[in-house]
C-alpha cells in the first residue's frame, strides 16, 4: 500500500520562527521536558537567529475551542489571528557531515497532537534543507510514545546509546532518506557522540539484527566496572544475617520526633532574644548583635570527566562499519504510513519503491 502524503487535520501554515516565538517554544518544551529534554533559553534564541526553528500556526481555534465544531463540520473560531501550535528545531548538518541533518526537538501542543502537525513540520524541515543533505536523523528516548511517530513517517531505528548517568535511559537513533524515491543513499550513524546535553561521551552501538527497538538494551557508560555482588561476611567467615524488619513506629514516637524538630528546642536564631508574652513565646531582635562575616563559599571542584577506553571506541567504530555494510548492501528501505519525502525536480533514482509500513529487505539486482 502506498504511503499517504500527510495533510494536517486543521488549516496550518509553517514559517521560520521569530524572536517573539521564544516564550512559546520555551513554555511548550517545559511542558514536555520528559520527552524532548530541555534547551536553555539562550540556546533557543541562537537557534532562532540561525534559522533552525520552524513554527506551525493555525488561524483561529485557540486551545479553548479545539475539538468543538459547528453542525456543518467546520471548527469554531473566535478570532482569525494565527496561533502557534507547534515547533521543530533542527538543522541540515550533523556531526560534521553536510549530507546528514538532525531534528533536536519536535513539539506540538497536547490538544493539537494526532492532527499530523508534526509530520507537516518534518516535511517543511526537509524542504528547507540544503541540496546536499540526503539523510535526517534524531535521538529519541526508548520509553516514550514518540518512537511510534518516527516509525510512522519512515524513519529507521539503526542504533542506540545510554543517556545520562542519573536517568540511564536508552536513546534510539532514527534515520530517514529525505529525497523522494531515494533507495540508494547509504545509511550512517556515529560510533561515538561527544558531550552534548548528556555532557559525557557515549559509545553508540547498532541495534542487533532480529531485535526490535523496544527490546531491552545494555547500559554502556564510560569507566563503569560491573562486578558480581559479593555476600557480606563476618570476621570469622560466617555470613551476615539480614536484619529483621522493624515493627511499625508508634504514634508516640512520631510525635516525639516532630517535637524534637521544633525551632524552640533548636536554640535561639542568630540575633534574636526570646521573651514570654501573654500569647506565648516570641522572638525579638537584639540590639547588641553583631553578625559574623559569612564564610567564603568553597570553590566548586569539577569532577573529572569519565572517558571511554580507546579500545572500546575503536571496537564500536569497527562494529558500526560492519553493520552498515550489511544494512546498505541489503538495501533496507524505510516504510512508513505517511510520506514526508522531499520532492526534487526530475527523477532522482531508478528502481523507485513506494513506502509502506515497517522494514523490509529488497532482493539484490541481478
Q: What is the pLDDT of residues 20-34, one digit of tens each?
A: 999 999 999 999 988
| Number of other residues whose CB lies within 10 A of the CB of residue 15 | 14
Cell of 22: 521564544
Cell readout for 279 is: 500569647
Burial track 166-176 (b if 16+ CB lie within 10 A, e otherwise): eeeebbbbbbb
Q: Give the per-residue pLDDT at 276.
A: 81
Which grid cell sits at 122?
Answer: 518534518
Q: How many Å apart are CA 46 and CA 35, to the nearest integer?
A: 22
DSSP 8-state class, residue 64: G
Identify whether the C-beta of residue 131 lies closer than 8 Å to the C-beta of residue 345: no
Which SS3 state, helix, strand or coil, does residue 206 take?
Answer: strand
Tens-digit pLDDT profile for residues 104-138: 999 999 988 888 999 999 999 999 999 999 999 99
User: How many Å apart are CA 112 and CA 61, to the nearest integer?
Assistant: 10
Given a cut of 90, whether residue 239 has pLDDT beyond it is: no
Average pLDDT over residues 352-364: 37
Query: Over the stretch 317-336, which tens digit does the pLDDT of each residue have?
Result: 999 999 999 999 887 666 78
Question: 291: pLDDT confidence band, cut at 50, 70 and 90?
Answer: confident
- Distance, in Å, from the CA atom of 176 to the CA atom of 103, rounded to the nearest integer, reads 11
Enumerate the H helices of the chain as residue ranges: 22-31, 33-36, 41-49, 117-128, 146-152, 251-260, 310-330
Q: Tell me, what's the pLDDT at 113?
A: 87
Query: How far does Cα 47 stand from its chain's mean position?
Result: 17
Q: Kindly report, as residue ranges, where domains of CATH 3.40.630.30 are found in the chain.
A: 1-63+77-131
Which residues, at least 6 apart from 280, have a Cβ–Cβ distance to it below 8 Å? none
Cα separation, 272 vs 266, in Å, equals: 13
User: Using an 8 Å Cβ cutoff, are 38 and 29 in contact?
Assistant: yes
Q: How far apart are CA 93 and CA 19, in angstroms?
A: 22
Report the alpha-carbon distance of residue 178 to residue 340 in Å, rounded: 8
For residue 3, what pLDDT is reported? 75
H or E element, residue 55? strand 53-59
CATH domain 1-63+77-131 topology? Aminopeptidase (3.40.630)
Amino acid at each position: 500500500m502506498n504511503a499517504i502524503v500527510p495533510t494536517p487535520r486543521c488549516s496550518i501554515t509553517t514559517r521560520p520562527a521569530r524572536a517573539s516565538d521564544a516564550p512559546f517554544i520555551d513554555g511548550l518544551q517545559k511542558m514536555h521536558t520528559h520527552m524532548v529534554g530541555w534547551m536553555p533559553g539562550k540556546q533557543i534564541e541562537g537557534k532562532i537567529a540561525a534559522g533552525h526553528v520552524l513554527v506551525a500556526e493555525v488561524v483561529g481555534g485557540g486551545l479553548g475551542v479545539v475539538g468543538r465544531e459547528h453542525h456543518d463540520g467546520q471548527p469554531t473560531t473566535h478570532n482569525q489571528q494565527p496561533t502557534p501550535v507547534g515547533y521543530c528545531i533542527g538543522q541540515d548538518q550533523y556531526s560534521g557531515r553536510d549530507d546528514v541533518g538532525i531534528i533536536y526537538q519536535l513539539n506540538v501542543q497536547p490538544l493539537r497532537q494526532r492532527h499530523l502537525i508534526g509530520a507537516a513540520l518534518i516535511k517543511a524541515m526537509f524542504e528547507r534543507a540544503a541540496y546536499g543533505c540526503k539523510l535526517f536523523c534524531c535521538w529519541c528516548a526508548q520509553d516514550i510514545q514518540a518512537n511510534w511517530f518516527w516509525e510512522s513517517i519512515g524513519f529507521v531505528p539503526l542504533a542506540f546509546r545510554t543517556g545520562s548517568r542519573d536517568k540511564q535511559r536508552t536513546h534510539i537513533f532514527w534515520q530517514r532518506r529525505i529525497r523522494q524515491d531515494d533507495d540508494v543513499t547509504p545509511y550512517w550513524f556515529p560510533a561515538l557522540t561527544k558531550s552534548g546535553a548528556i555532557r559525557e561521551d557515549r559509545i553508540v552501538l547498532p541495534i542487533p539484527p532480529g531485535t526490535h527497538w523496544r527490546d531491552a538494551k545494555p547500559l554502556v557508560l564510560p569507566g563503569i566496572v560491573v562486578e558480581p555482588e559479593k555476600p557480606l561476611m563476618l570476621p570469622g567467615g560466617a555470613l551476615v544475617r539480614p536484619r529483621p524488619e522493624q515493627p511499625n513506629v508508634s504514634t508516640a514516637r512520631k510525635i516525639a520526633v516532630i517535637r524534637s524538630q521544633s525551632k524552640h528546642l533548636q536554640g535561639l536564631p542568630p540575633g534574636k532574644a526570646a521573651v514570654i508574652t501573654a500569647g506565648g513565646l516570641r522572638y525579638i531582635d537584639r540590639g547588641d548583635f553583631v553578625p559574623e562575616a559569612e564564610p567564603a563559599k568553597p570553590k566548586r571542584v569539577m569532577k573529572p570527566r569519565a572517558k571511554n577506553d580507546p579500545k572500546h571506541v575503536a571496537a564500536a567504530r569497527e562494529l558500526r562499519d560492519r553493520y552498515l555494510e550489511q544494512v546498505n548492501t541489503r538495501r533496507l528501505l524505510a516504510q512508513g504510513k505517511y510520506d514526508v519525502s522531499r520532492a526534487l525536480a526530475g527523477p532522482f533514482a531508478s528502481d523507485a519503491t513506494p513506502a509502506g509500513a515497517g522494514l523490509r529487505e529488497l532482493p539484490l539486482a541481478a
